[in-house]
Amino acid sequence: MPLTALALNCTLSPSPAESSTELLAQQVLDALAEHDVSGSMIRVVDHDVRPGVELDMGDGDAWPNLREQLIASDILVLATPTWLGQHSSVCQRVLERLDAELSETDEQGRLLTYGKVAVVVVVGNEDGAHHISAVAFQSLNDVGFTIPAGGVTYWNGEAMHGTDYKDLESTPDTVASTTRTLAANAAHLARLLGTAGYPSSNAG
């Protein structure tokens, strides 16, 4: 059963700047490809995603097009850098726009995101990955996504140092192993949901 994944790279750096977040997110997509999951990536900051909690905020809002690609995918890879111990403002914008999914249901009363898996990618030079993934997991689950076991991969550099993930000579073994596990679990869960989804919300 072929699957698709969409990575939303929430770096603050517009293209074509290098991005540690993009590097780790791409590694997740590469790992998913080993499980017959085709993937693509969008650098959100390159698009005019307006603030708000509606499906379309009008006036050239880029979110409807991004959302269309998200809804067409089986797996969402939400990737964010760490700033001041928090996820990026771009990531927060994405989470806020996903709030509109609470009003979108299928003919059986289920959210359109109910059959979709979400995983999280975090990079940064200070601690914060556990906090960020906890916030992201709760937010994504609130709007209908299912989180697999081992649903986050991350890298945090040594405190008070300036090394970026993209500057490492090689991927640390622990990060690579965690990424492989994330990909295997996400693909497995997405296939299960694709063949045996959640029950109708209209049942009972």
SS3 track for 131-174: HHHHHHHHHHHHCCCECCCCCEEEEECCCCCCCCHHHCCCCCHH
User: What is the H or E stretch that residue 95 is in?
Assistant: helix 89-98
* CA gap 166, 149 in Å, rounded: 26
pLDDT, residue 203, reads 58
Instruction: Quote the CA–CA distance of 156 and 161 in Å, as a whole number.
Output: 10
Is residue 12 classed as helix, strand or coil in its secondary structure?
Answer: coil
Q: What is the mean pLDDT of each run of 10 residues along the chain (204 residues)?
A: 96 97 98 98 98 96 98 98 95 98 95 97 91 98 98 92 92 98 98 94 64
pLDDT score of 202: 72
**Torsion of Cα atoms, 128 then 130 then 134 then 137, to 10°:** 110
Calculate the alpha carbon distances from 81 to 34, 98, 112, 127, 133 in Å.
Answer: 25, 19, 27, 11, 11
Question: What pLDDT does residue 159 have?
Answer: 83
> Residues near 94 by Cβ (< 8 Å), separated by ≥ 6?
8, 10, 44, 49, 78
Tokens standing for residue 56: 């379309």
3-class secondary-structure state, position 15 = coil
**pTM for this predicted structure:** 0.96
Q: Structure tokens of 199?
A: 């029950």
Cα(59)–Cα(43) distance, rounded to whole angstroms? 20
Nearest to 7 by CA among 27, 32, 34, 25: 25
pLDDT for the residue numbered 98: 98
